[in-house]
Amino acid sequence: MADDRNLCLRCIEKGPLRNWIEREGTEGDCDFDASHTSVPCVTIDEFAEEADRWFQTNYQPGAETFEIDPDPDSDKIYHGTAGRSYDEIFSEELDSSGDVLRAVIDALPDADHYEIAQGGERFYTDAHNFESIEAARAREKADLIGLRTGMPSSGRISANRCNSLPASSASRRGRTNSSESRRSTARGR
């Protein structure tokens, strides 16, 4: 469902997405805070599209992690994924009110019901975490050149999810194809 409410510069505290509103917005009144008048605004849908682009440039589904239960009598292995959930990442990046955050997250472009019925998968899912591409590359590089010091640089467990996840590698390779096709349709307006 289209969300044409105006979101303004002042609703986003910091970061590249704030700068983007400053560049691309048109002066207007904010629909999220009545005291935000005559400020650069974009619609929630426009903002969510840009937020999606930013996210996919900077984050990827977290690598699988596992940890053996420290209890010597247990043979359990906890599976998880590196990084944080997408809504935590957006919450920190936007640093905006809960209303704004919810509206943006609800408007993120993703596989729709029809595409899911055809076997597509949602990219924004709670089934796994997301980690920064830069951090993942740095870790891979460190592993490659054997710079592992006291703390292992990979195989970390993400504390908040370690109990709940079945190991699922299928869901990690979600959306590459559909995101390309989404892009081209999204550009058309």
Q: Which residues bind Zn ion (CB under 5 A)?
A: 8, 10-11, 30, 32-33, 36
CB 121 within 8 A of CB 113: no
Q: Is the Cβ of residue 99 or residue 140 nearer to Zn ion in the bound state?
A: 99
Q: Is the Cβ of residue 32 or residue 90 nearer to Zn ion in the bound state?
A: 32
CB 80 within 8 A of CB 162: yes
Q: How far apart are CA 115 and CA 121, in angstroms?
A: 8
Smallest separation (angstroms) from Zn ion to the CB of 50? 16
Q: Is the Cβ of residue 47 or residue 124 nearer to Zn ion in the bound state?
A: 47
Positions of E strands within the chain:
6-8, 26-28, 39-43, 59-61, 64-68, 77-81, 130-132
Helix axis angle, 98-107 to 86-94, nearest 10°: 130
Smallest separation (angstroms) from Zn ion to the CB of 188? 27
Q: Is the Cβ of residue 6 or residue 81 nearer to Zn ion in the bound state?
A: 6
Shortest Cβ contact with Zn ion: which residue?
Answer: 30
Burial category of 96 from C-beta neighbours within 10 Å (exposed 0-12, middle 13-18, buried 19 and up): buried
